A and B are shown apart, each in its own frame.
Chain A
């Protein structure tokens, strides 16, 4: 029972990190129909720039975080403006490959600057272990959960209430109709990418807090695909629920099967195939998958 509680807690908190990463992916997909294979590298930007400003320059952490997020936004806007805008109307393989190419460039530049060795992140989040129902969990991991839920709430309000949020949903629904209603579609794309970059920046900082600052942070970009498919590619609550389910699944699969098999890394992808076969739009996604 002790083990079960421990697994559940780690699963929940890992899932929260997944959920944060997934939020950015879903935001971009929801409004621009682009699946961003470079999401992991946006996390890397967040992790390394925060490491530079807070750890190397010794700035106070709120300033460091703001600088990190601003740089992330600048990169995202540039990527949208100079690369993805030219890809509008191109076949889906081109869009996928362009984000993959981008991920390789960003990965190379970041690791080229800071080198391959993992760095320790200047932890400004309290990381003292907490004791909950007899299981221990780092406080920084709980922060991931809290931040994920707060961001979900903020985004939900944003998409339901604010003008820009409604415009984003309109663009996602039907680009031409949105344009004819006078929505500046290009600015909306830039906004979508900026919000995704902010989310990725926050996720990157939190992931770096837990995992340390290294290239491994970028692997989350691929590991998060089962999460977004499970939750539904265009659903924000789906990203959170999917993240937590996959996080729990990983922990249980890793602990209750022979550890030499390393099942915890592959079970999410098996789940992904099963979901795609049974319910391709995910738990909360819109049913608009075409089948032929």
Chain B
């Protein structure tokens, strides 16, 4: 922590940032986020990756609210993303709701479904809750692969759901560049909302439940209501991410993006980024989205250099293995994730050159 900060008002004390350097970093990040699409406007692949990172960041923040802050393990992230995406898709393509209304509708609907899946958390803890959410994931996965969303019947085959191009004030939001701004605004709203939520009595109740639920109940926190609220709010943001996924770029919703592997990837994001840290969720989302992309381009480079082994055949296994290895190494050597590593770097330079 910085020393030499003297707060004389409550407002100063409540501020998120206290020092000029902290403000500087915030402004730097915002400027970079705004400048990125302008600089790389011609490079659609980079913009695609950026969009994926930002959407993943929204989903990861939602999941971190539940797992990192409230301590309720969920293996059902993919299912909640699916609920968000399919709701947004169904209301736009079947009922003609405009996309900007469909996204909040989808987020709210996911919140309701999420709270429903949260009901078992009243009776189950830890491992058992993890397995219950795994079952929920399988059930939702089954549903989206057997329900025809175009005809709204349980017919056995799903068929992809195609969405119309989002329009805003007569403008088509068809490219990655256009949609970047939509996603960025959603991410900023998510970060502001979640950071502030965590400072309210509800946010403190979440952490009390995580740290010791019995003690929390003795202190007058209703664990059932708090857990349901956590599931609901968390699912709201996950649903938002899902709805954004449905709307941008290809605008086709298929079940492959919502399997149990996706749930695991999101859990990996928040563990690698840092459990119980909003900024950590963003770091983790960027890391886990960029890792396969980097390995892909590494594979392309190797292929181009004329390596004797066939790289494309190995690449899926390399990605899967590196994915697992990164999870295991982070859990063993830095369980608090990238957020902690970054804090270490800051602490080092704060004391530099006179560290202890």
Contacts and interface: CB of A to CB of B under 8 A. Distances in A.
A269 B328 contact: no
Contacts of B320: 104-105, 107-108
Contacts of B123: 276-277, 280, 291
A93 B126 CA distance: 8
Interface residues of A, number: 47
A132 interface: no
B290 interface: no
B73 A92 contact: yes
Name B's interface SS: helix
Contact of A266 (B142, B267, B332): B142
**A87, A90, A280 — most chain B CB neighbours (10 Å):** A280
B131 to A, nearest CB: 6
B300 interface: no
B131 A225 contact: yes
**B267, B326, B328, B332 — most chain A CB neighbours (10 Å):** B328
B260 interface: yes
Contact of A96 (B130, B142, B155, B324): B130
B120 to A, nearest CB: 6
A112 B317 contact: yes
Interface stretch (A148-156, A185-193, A256-264): A256-264
Given A107-B320, A273-B136, A276-B132, A87 B331 contact: yes
A252 to B, nearest CB: 17
Contact of B317 (A111, A222, A262): A111
A108 B156 contact: no
B134 to A, nearest CB: 6
Q: How large is the interface on B (under 10, 10 to 19, 20 to 34, 35 or more residues)?
A: 35 or more
A92 B320 CA distance: 23
Contacts of A226: 135
A45 interface: no
A135 interface: no
Interface string A195-227: 000000000000000000000000000100110
Given A97-B327, A111-B317, A270 B139 contact: yes
A262 B155 CA distance: 11
Given A35-B127, A93-B73, A107-B320, A101 B331 contact: yes
Interface string B268-279: 100100010000
Nearest to A96: B130
Contact of B146 (A96, A104, A262): A262
B125 A290 contact: yes
B128 A276 contact: yes
Interface string B221-263: 0010000000000000000000000000000000000001000
A170 B122 CA distance: 30
B124 A280 contact: yes
B142 A262 contact: yes
Given A93-B130, A260-B156, A273-B135, 4 more contacts: A94-B335, A229-B131, A276-B135, A280-B123
Interface of B: 67, 71, 73, 120, 122-128, 130-132, 134-136, 138-139, 142, 145-146, 154-157, 213-214, 217, 223, 260, 264, 267-268, 271, 275, 313-314, 317-321, 323-328, 331-332, 335
25 contacts: A35-B131, A83-B328, A83-B332, A93-B130, A94-B331, A100-B267, A100-B327, A101-B323, A101-B324, A101-B326, A102-B328, A104-B323, A105-B320, A107-B320, A112-B321, A229-B128, A260-B155, A261-B156, A270-B135, A272-B135, A273-B139, A276-B135, A290-B125, A291-B123, A292-B217
